[in-house]
Structure 1
């Protein structure tokens, strides 16, 4: 009986340790069409994020320009991994190529690699969500020529809360995916 009560007390104590923070995920992409690519397979390297977008907190820009934490709201997954997986899925479903995040899961290596370095990913105070990045494509087998492009996309911020930031983040990643696919189509 003592063991049962001790276990019950421990369980209640651990339950009380929960911080009540809401966790947010980015919804999966909804590609409208598939872009035909010369590449059959693409490995997306882990996205490189700026400090303001790499932490667990959902952030938003305040009226004075500072970037602040949105109350009790965190991302449900580590941001770099979540954004990488989301972009890989968007590229995969939006093209004829097989796209996967690193490490490449297949025996034969991918025909090309994408490196995406995000330098700005921000829910702005003006009601827009901004994402700017440098995108490099490289092909060890020279299936396509190496190239570096810079992209900047904005999308409306549906609301100034964590749900709105989550929704706008997904929309911005979809816009970035569209730009990357247009670049890859032209190679």
Structure 2
């Protein structure tokens, strides 16, 4: 019994200091876009170092990015954004969509690679998401191209939950742009 007490105290101490974690959950919009590809691979999204970290940051008036106390992303941000884009495009279209690594034996007809230049909660009360995405097609089923994006979503509140919600909305807008581009 004496051996159990220190172990139980250690577990309770670890649980009591746990920081809240926030999901990046884009709102799912029902749609039925007809993509020009039947299968699409979403490659791992490239994020800037500050957005790749597990800490949620907020831009101050002086432009400095500061970690919000006791606020972490619930998942690795690159993984979460990649999966969110794949999920959103898959639900909004007729295509079979999966995040890399491609899980099927036959290669996907096309792939999208997103490179994010900025993903930040700004001091002006918005979440800014900008960068570019490249569409590649192994068999030239669709025209290969690089498109730039710049999305700004208002923050309902400058809290971790507000930042997570606005980030999710920005990712949903990006996924919708990619979906529209693949339907032309």
Q: Aligning the two structures, in what range does the TM-score lie when normalised by the shorter sequence?
A: over 0.9
Q: Is residue 15 of structure 1 aligned with residue 9 of structure 2?
A: no
| Alpha-carbon offset, residue 28 of structure 1 | 4.8
What secondary structure is seen at the aligned counterpart in 2 of 1:74? strand
Unaligned runs of 5+ in 1: none
After TM superposition, the structure 1 stretch with the greater mean CA deviation from structure 2, 78-87 or 24-33, is 24-33
Equivalent residue number for residue 146 of structure 1:
144
Determine the C-alpha separation between the residues in 2 that align with 1:103 and 1:175: 24
What secondary structure is seen at the aligned counterpart in 1 of 2:10? helix
Equivalent residue number for residue 119 of structure 1:
117
Task: Give the counterpart of 1:62 among 48, 57, 60.
Answer: 60
Unaligned runs of 5+ in 2: none
Task: Tell me the C-alpha RMSD between the 2 structures.
Answer: 1.2
TM-score by length of 2: 0.95
Deviations 1:35-72 (A, max 9, x none): 11110010000000001201000111111111111110
| Alpha-carbon offset, residue 156 of structure 1 | 0.8
Query: Do 1:62 and 1:125's aligned partners in 2 also have CA atoms closer than 8 Å?
Result: yes
Query: Do 2:38 and 2:94's aligned partners in 1 also have CA atoms closer than 8 Å?
Result: yes
**Number of aligned residues:** 183
What secondary structure is seen at the aligned counterpart in 2 of 1:69? strand
Deviations 1:14-44 (A, max 9, x none): 3313433111012253213221111001000
| Alpha-carbon offset, residue 79 of structure 1 | 0.7
Determine the C-alpha separation between the residues in 1 that align with 2:91 and 2:81: 15
